[in-house]
Amino acid sequence: MGLMGNLRNRAGLVIFVIGLAIVAFLLGDVVRSGSPLWMQKQNQVGSVNGNSIDYQDFNMQVEQTSNQIKQQMGGVETPQMKMYAVQQVWNQFVSKELLNSEIEKIGFTVGKIELNDLVTGPNPSAQIAQTFINPQTGQFDRAYLNQVITESKNGNPEIQGQWEALLESVKQQRLSEKYSNLLNASIYVTALEAQDEYTAKNKLANFKYTLLDYNSINGADIKLTDADYKEYYDKHKNSFKNLEETRAIEYIVIDGGATQKDTASTMENILSLKNELIASTNDSLFAISNSDTKYPVTYYKKGQLSPALDSVLFSAPVGTTVGPFTSNNALEIAKLIDTKYSPDSIQVSHIVLNPAAEGGVTKALEKADSIKNLILAGGNFAALAVEFSQDPNSKANAGEMGIFTRGQLNQLGEKFEETVFTSKTGDIIVTESQVGVHILKIGKQVGNSKIVKVAIVDKIINSGKETVDAAYTKANNFFTEATASNFAEIAKQQNLNLQTAANVQAMDIAINGTEVPRELVRWIFETDKNEVTDKIYETENNFIIAKVTGINPKGIQPLEAVKAEIMPAVTKLVKARMLKEKMNNAINGSSTIDQIAQKLNKNAIDVQNIVLANPVIPGVALESSVIGTVFGLQPNKPSKPVDGTEGVYVVQVNSFVNPKELVETERKSQQKQMLQGRQQRSWGSIFQALKNNADIDDNRIRFY
């Protein structure tokens, strides 16, 4: 990979590791002279403790991140991919601002000598070492680093900008490491804590329990009061804290997706095309003209085709047309044009000439032939690349392109890739691509596998006009009649499934698993309670109409806002109260759990070898409160009633089996393991605490 590619992949990235990596983009101060303050704020995506980021800067980073994701995932950008990039960049911005604020308070700095040592010292930073790798050896290349430093000092504006960004990233990473080291130094584990952890994992409890199940009381017979709701709400108030404003909605989704009739129609079409493809004398033109996806008619290696095509084409005779097969909501057929064997990967170097700078393609080709002759006569390819190549990446990297597998060079054209993969090691070749004229040097070749040249034709199974019209009519009928007051009633009358979502967030791209347009989410957050959508919103396969039923502000939600949500838990609270009264009556006058169970017409069930660290009652459930009570009891004395997840329990310990004593070396090993675990988890807790105490203004919904 060339210099600019390396730097772009790394510059602006700050890696902060405390158990997990937190990547923070470096954002420079933006000077907006001449703009009114209100206009500047209009363009702000958000701010953290008064430090804002405007849309232009933010969106540039979103595009960079989105492009990186596309390269990793392949294919075109999807709405989900774009919103993932938006979320990632936002998290990076928030992380960077919170971290920098803490570093500034502490007073950490990176001095000039320290920075020089991180860049050119005997042990350069990880970012420097990873950026300046010799593609031939896979090792850090100090000469490559020095070359870039020289070019930056000589005033190459693009190199200089990328180099300065990389230096700033190295500096920021070092500051992050200092903060990380400070935090890790503040975390410790005492000998007593190590002993308690060991005991929780190894001390065994043998006990009996009797259980009154919540299901023994019919919930329909319980009348919940306001006092019941308030009791539960007051006990769990902090669990109802919203970190951001959310909205509650009711909505209906009319499915406009393809029907069996649409699938049958597509099948009829692809079968007709199959007959034409069999008879075709120009397979490439036919595929390009008739395929929805426009797959290139080229050679493919095993694993690059859809699973169905991959399974048949590598063993089929040349000339065979296969399919149709279903793949990713499409029907596809394919004609096998040719097969051969080809290297799995090839190392390539190149010198690139720009025809525009050379006075046209003809003159560029003539110059390329001259350079080729110099190389064949013994000229140094790397030196000639630095002298003549007009591509910055090629020039900076002494002509090295890297190591490629089939498909990775398609962006330069099918002819270019085929030229590379049909050449032999040591060949010097002049060829053209979309970016210019190349003098290629073919390096090491690895492997030799079968490849197939295939013409693929696919037809996406889309909803037909009849299907879409029927779905829209259904949606429009509901939209015409529905109001805020009769929304649920009309849905029931028209036999539509009324769905609810209690906590829609501003950056959601799906609601209850259904993809929704961002335009709809923006409407939800811009409108008032009890408003119905101003139009029918559409996705690729659905029509959606919604009503806002609640606005849940940031902070602890009031009881009324969570009343419906907590009703099952409040019902369980009341059941527990009733069962505890029954249990206390049985406990009264009883000295053993067997006597208590007998009064309740229940059995006292034996449980063996339970540890505190795994609080499961076999065959029942995870019961942390119950097992916690067990380990706090004296043997042979029944407990008071204990609220569990499945019902109300009484427990009685038969015996404990204590583990062997920890020797000093074992205790220290236990402490070390616990310390590592705490250090790995620490940043998550610290970061959340910083977020909770920060003034964060998130305006992304205005732009995305």
Out of 275-284, 401-410, 537-546, 560-569, which region has the weakest mean confidence (pLDDT)? 401-410
**Strand duo 616-617 + 605-610: pairing:** unpaired
For residues 21 and 39, state if they share a domain.
yes
β partners of residue 213:
647
- Whether 34 shows a pLDDT value over 80: the answer reads no
Residue 33 forms part of a structural domain: yes
What was the pLDDT predicted at 383?
87
- Tens of pLDDT, residues 471-518: 999 999 999 999 999 999 999 999 999 999 988 999 999 999 888 999
The neighbour count for residue 117, using CB atoms within 10 Å, is 15
Interval 164-181 mean pLDDT: 88
What CATH number does the domain containing 378 carry? 3.10.50.40
| Any domain includes 104 | yes
454 within domain boundaries: no
Same domain, 323 and 350: no
Do both 84 and 111 map to the same domain? yes
Q: Which residue has the higher pLDDT, 134 or 686?
A: 686
- Rounded to an integer, the average pLDDT of 111-133 is 90
Q: What number is the average pLDDT over the span 252-259?
A: 93
User: Quick check: 626 pLDDT over 60?
Assistant: yes
pLDDT at 645: 95
- pLDDT tens figures, 218-236: 988 899 999 999 999 999 9
- The pLDDT of 538-547, averaged and rounded, is 93
Confidence tier at 26 by pLDDT (50, 70, 90): very low
Clarify whether residues 44 and 180 are in a common domain. Answer: yes
Q: Are residues 270 and 336 in the same domain?
A: yes
Label residue 96 by pLDDT band (50, 70, 90): confident
- What pLDDT score does 76 carry? 66
Q: Is residue 219 part of a domain?
A: yes
Tell me: do 358 and 438 sit in the same domain: yes
**Which of the two residues, 314 and 141, has the higher pLDDT score?**
314
Asked if 180 contacts 24 with a C-beta cutoff of 8 angstroms, the reply is: no
Give the end of a domain, one of 285, 310, 342.
342
Does 641 lie in the same domain as 619?
yes
| Separation of alpha carbons 674 and 671, rounded Å | 5
Identify the band that residue 564 occupies on the pLDDT scale cut at 50, 70 and 90. confident
Convert the pLDDT of each residue in 653-682 to its tens digit. 999 999 988 899 999 999 999 999 898 888
Residue where a domain terminates, one of 411, 446, 481: 446
What does the pLDDT read at residue 642?
Answer: 97
The single residue listed with the structure tokens 């991959």 is: 310
498 and 578 share a domain? Answer: no
Contact by Cβ (8 Å): 286, 347: no
Q: Is the pLDDT of residue 45 over 80?
A: yes
> Is the same domain home to 7 and 107?
yes
Average pLDDT score, the chain: 87
pLDDT attached to residue 42: 75
Residue 206 DSSP SS3: strand
- Residue 501: give the domain boundaries: 244-256+464-553
Q: Which pTM does this prediction carry? A: 0.65
**One domain, residues 136 and 248:** no
Q: H or E stretch including 641?
A: none
In a domain, 670, yes or no: no
* Predicted pLDDT of residue 25: 34
The answer, yes or no, to whether residue 148 has pLDDT greater than 90, is no
Query: In the predicted model, is pLDDT for residue 14 greater than 50?
Result: no
Q: What gap in Å lies between CA 49 and CA 167, rounded to an integer? A: 26
Query: Does residue 396 sit in the same domain as residue 414?
Result: yes
691 falls within a domain:
no
What b-and-e string marks burial along 688-704, b requiring 16 or more CB atoms within 10 Å of the CB? eebeeeeebebbbbbeb
The reply to whether 78 and 167 lie within a common domain is yes
- CATH number (domain holding residue 211): 3.10.50
- The verdict on residue 455 lying in a domain is no
Whether pLDDT at 301 is above 90:
no
Does any domain span residue 453? no
Decide which of 608 and 680 is more confident: 608
> Which of 553, 572, 590 lies at the terminal end of a domain, its last residue?
553
At 135, is the pLDDT very low, low, confident or very high (cuts 50, 70, 90)? low
Least confident stretch, 269-283, 327-341, 403-417, 486-500: 403-417
Task: Tell me what percent of the residues of the chain surpass a pLDDT of 70.
Answer: 93
Domain count, the chain: 5
